[in-house]
Structure 1
Amino acid sequence: MTRLLLPLSLGLALAPPAMGAEPLLSSRVARKPLLQQAQPLIPVRSGAGTSGASLFAGRAEGGLFSAVLEPTSLPHRIGGDSVNARIRDIIARAEAGPDGYDAVQHGARRRPPKRPTAMTLDEIFAWIAATPGQPHAIGRYQFIPDTLRMLVNRLGLDRRTRFTPGVQDRLADLLLLDAGLDDMRRGNITRRSFMHNLARIWAGLPTASGRSHYHGHAGNRATMTWARFESAMAPIFPH
């Protein structure tokens, strides 16, 4: 789940967030990658253990690192293909554990009243509001509240929409775009850079050092090795 607000791997200075706060995620609407323009905050969860899904980091409005997409440009770019699905599978291995789309961050003392995939977005936000002071990362990609709200708004989803696997995948696909998936496909960035971008969103993914970009913040750690991450990504992007 990423509770650390991220800058990608572009060397933005990160100020350690206050412990115990729900992630404050912010962004700027811009036409250039936000990575190159803003210094993100990185709020982290408190009291998190070091096992299970990691922390998921995101931003409140607009894209995380790349140019914000106009709403009208989203439909034909979101929904995924085999490339998206394969990358999402790698992320899920690092983030969700065996519960997959019904995963809830292990530090949540008061869990949702039913399986996440059986809940509407409105029900999820109601659970978040009713259980302050605990982690709320939810689903296969461990969305934290501000990130979930931001993505739901970007897709224009009705709050009565159920948090199905398909909806979760669509939300994750927005983050793949923010991480530079289009640039990766066009050969404008290297696979290593793209992997670092992903690791700045999902704390369970490693950087080339072998550690999470957020290692040590509120119990965050990489849940796979860099070698395993690279071996999973190489067949998707051989060059």
Structure 2
Amino acid sequence: MARADVAPLTTMVAAPLFGGATAGGPTPASSSGSLFAGNGTGFFAPLPPRARAEPAVPRALGSQGVAPDNPVAQLLSLIARVEAGREGYDAVQHGARIRPPAPPTQMTLGEIYTWIAETPGQPHAIGRYQFIPPTLRRVAGLRGYGPETRFTPAVQDSLALILLEDAGLRTFEAGTMPRTRFMRNLARIWAGLPLPNGQSFYEGYAGNRAAMSWAEFSGGMAQIWPAG
């Protein structure tokens, strides 16, 4: 699950990496994987205020206008493989006893917040990137998405891009951050990704574990960025 309620690992300003006019592109096929247990709450202090990006809504990755072989789209698919599995953008943390009243992509952020408030004491990680409540509210606020915003694939991708930037995406792509450091940073955000020792950064916390080996993670990154 995405635990980006930890302090940002870089200080860059969030901005969309993909342009586009609509949030209703078709949902790309998701890879198989597993969801992780968790209580849906953060255990770090709230983040300090951060400059807000313009609330532009990109197309869903892989839809018209955005090549599915774009490196960032491939990285998000790698993350989704260990976080959301076959459910993709409609994934809900498997430990949630009371599920949302509709598939997440058909709900607004306000409806998701209501579901969270009305079902305390259970995990609430949601969507392709398994946003937990504090993270979801933070990144939605940075994008300027209000409660009326529908949790579409494009919106989820847009929110996940902020987390990639927190991990140092732009610094990594500029060649000034080693691949292994970027991978460690990603593992601090998504519990399904491993550290070099093969364990999750949140190993054992509320049942979290890594869903791939470090070798698999490293190999996947090398395929996406051969010269990284």
TM norm structure 1: 0.73
Query: Are 2:204 and 1:216 aligned?
Result: yes
Q: Which residue of 2 aligns with 1:71?
A: 52
User: Residue by residue, what CA displacement relative to the aligned partner does 1:178-224 show, whole Å, maximum 9, x if unpaired?
Assistant: 10000001111101100000000000000111111111111110001
Q: 1:190 aligns with which of 174, 178, 197?
A: 178
CA–CA distance in structure 1, aligned partners of residues 53 and 190 of structure 2: 27
Q: Which residue of 2 aligns with 1:161?
A: 149
Residues 71 and 225 in structure 2, CA contact (< 8 A), matched pair in contact too: no
User: Residue by residue, what CA displacement relative to the aligned partner does 1:103-153 show, whole Å, maximum 9, x if unpaired?
Assistant: 000110000001000001110001001001100000000001110000110
User: What's the CA shift for 1:79?
Assistant: 8.2
User: What's the CA shift for 1:31?
Assistant: 5.0
Q: 2:134 aligns with which of 134, 143, 146?
A: 146
Q: Which residue of 2 aligns with 1:19?
A: none
Query: Are 2:90 and 1:102 aligned?
Result: yes
Amino acid of the residue matched to residue 147 of structure 2?
R
CA–CA distance in structure 2, aligned partners of residues 121 and 190 of structure 1: 36
CA–CA distance in structure 2, aligned partners of residues 208 and 88 of structure 1: 20
CA–CA distance in structure 2, aligned partners of residues 180 and 78 of structure 1: 23
Amino acid of the residue matched to residue 171 of structure 1?
L
Partner SS for 1:117:
helix
Q: 1:226 aligns with which of 199, 214, 224?
A: 214
Taking a change above 3 Å as real, the CA distance of residues 212 and 159 of structure 1, as seen in their structure-2 partners, is same
Task: Note the residue ranges of structure 2 that are not aligned, 5 or more in a row.
Answer: 14-32
Percentage of identical aligned residues: 51
Task: Note the residue ranges of structure 1 that are not aligned, 5 or more in a row.
Answer: 11-29, 34-50
CA–CA distance in structure 2, aligned partners of residues 159 and 213 of structure 1: 31
Residues 211 and 222 in structure 1, CA contact (< 8 A), matched pair in contact too: yes
The structure 1 segments of at least 4 consecutive aligned residues displaced by more than 3 Å after TM superposition are 2-8, 30-33, 55-63, 72-81
Query: Are 2:158 and 1:176 aligned?
Result: no
Taking a change above 3 Å as real, the CA distance of residues 31 and 176 of structure 1, as seen in their structure-2 partners, is closer
TM norm structure 2: 0.77
CA–CA distance in structure 1, aligned partners of residues 221 and 100 of structure 2: 33
CA–CA distance in structure 2, aligned partners of residues 230 and 172 of structure 1: 20
Taking a change above 3 Å as real, the CA distance of residues 103 and 186 of structure 1, as seen in their structure-2 partners, is same
User: What's the CA shift for 1:83?
Assistant: 1.9
Q: Indicate the larger mover: 176-185 or 51-60.
A: 51-60
Query: Are 2:26 and 1:52 aligned?
Result: no
Aligned-residue CA RMSD (Å): 3.0
Q: 1:123 aligns with which of 111, 115, 119?
A: 111
CA–CA distance in structure 1, aligned partners of residues 168 and 219 of structure 2: 19
User: Residue by residue, what CA displacement relative to the aligned partner does 1:64-119 show, whole Å, maximum 9, x if unpaired?
Assistant: xxxx4x32577599987612211100100110011010000011000000100000
